[in-house]
């Protein structure tokens, strides 16, 4: 090995800390509204150290996005099990999407900012990666409909609705907390959300069986 292990580990830890801090800050204010100093303060280090690891605010932002985008887009796609029934496929899908909102709320908010902003960084990536998967999954649903397994609905809008409904527990958690009168969303709330959404969607599709 050319480089000492201890140093490498430290480097990785610092980088991870910066990325976590950056995600937190970008989640709240978006790219334009976040300052390198704010990220530095959140990470407990100096701004210049961030620039040592990530040569520029753009690069830091891209690193944050890259750090989450694969996991993110993966969870926006059906699990590829042709044996599974529509009901269990959708149920698992919703469940995983809610888990994502629960476990990575900051990632969700960074993504939301990026999209609201017109996806200046992710646009190409979304066209090349999300769109084909989306079209594939739309076809799967169309096949279910053709086979009479679920009620006929517009598959595209079905996805838009499921995405919106699941991500709202991350992006709009403030509003939900306010209305539920809770200082934060707990496991119970996510369980309730999952149960509601699964039953709701499966009822709408008449796919419980």
Q: Please say which residue, 52 or 200, places its beta carbon nearer to its own copies.
A: 200
**Which string of DSSP letters, residue by residue, matches 11-59?**
HHHHHHHHHHHHHHHHHHHHHHH--HHHHHHHHTS-HHHHHHHSSSHHH
How crowded is the C-beta side of 116, counted as CA atoms within 13 Å? 12
- By the rule CB under 7 A, 4 interacts with DNA: yes
Residue 7, both tokens: 């140093």
Q: Please say which residue, 21 or 202, places its beta carbon nearer to DNA.
A: 21
Find the binder of DNA among 19, 21, 27, 36 (CB under 7 A). 36
Query: Which of the listed partners (DNA, its own copies, none) does 87 bind, with a CB threshold of 5 to 8 Å by partner kind?
Result: none
- By the rule CB under 7 A, 57 interacts with DNA: yes
Q: Please say which residue, 38 or 94, places its beta carbon nearer to DNA.
A: 38
- Are 145 and 198 within 8 A, CB to CB? no
- By the rule CB under 7 A, 66 interacts with DNA: no
Which parts of this chain interact with its own copies (CB under 8 A)? 27-34, 109, 112-113, 115-119, 123, 126-127, 130-131, 134, 151, 153-154, 156-158, 160-161, 163-165, 167-169, 171-172, 174-176, 178-181, 192-193, 196-197, 199-201, 203-206
- By the rule CB under 7 A, 149 interacts with DNA: no
Find the binder of DNA among 49, 115, 116, 178 (CB under 7 A). 49
- Token pair 């989450």 is found at 68
The span from the CA of 11 to the CA of 18, in Å, is: 11
The span from the CA of 203 to the CA of 190, in Å, is: 19
């Amino acid at each position: 090995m050319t480089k000492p292990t201890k140093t490498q580990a430290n480097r990785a830890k610092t980088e991870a800390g910066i990325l976590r801090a950056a995600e937190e800050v970008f989640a709240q204010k978006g790219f334009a509204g976040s300052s390198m100093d704010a990220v530095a303060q959140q990470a407990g280090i100096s701004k210049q150290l961030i620039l040592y690891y990530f040569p520029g605010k753009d690069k830091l932002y891209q690193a944050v996005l890259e750090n989450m985008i694969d996991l993110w887009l993966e969870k926006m796609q059906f699990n590829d099990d042709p044996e599974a029934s529509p009901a269990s496929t959708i149920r698992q899908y919703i469940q995983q999407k809610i888990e994502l909102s629960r476990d990575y709320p900051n990632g969700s908010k960074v993504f939301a900012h990026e999209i609201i902003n017109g996806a200046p960084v992710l646009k190409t990536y979304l066209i090349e990666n999300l769109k084909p998967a989306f079209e594939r999954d739309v076809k799967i649903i169309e096949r279910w409909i053709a086979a009479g397994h679920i009620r006929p609905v517009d598959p595209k809008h079905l996805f838009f609705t499921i995405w919106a409904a699941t991500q709202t527990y991350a992006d709009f958690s403030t509003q939900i907390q306010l209305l539920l009168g809770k200082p934060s969303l707990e496991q119970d709330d996510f369980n309730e959300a999952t149960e509601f959404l699964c039953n709701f969607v499966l009822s709408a599709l008449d796919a419980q069986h």
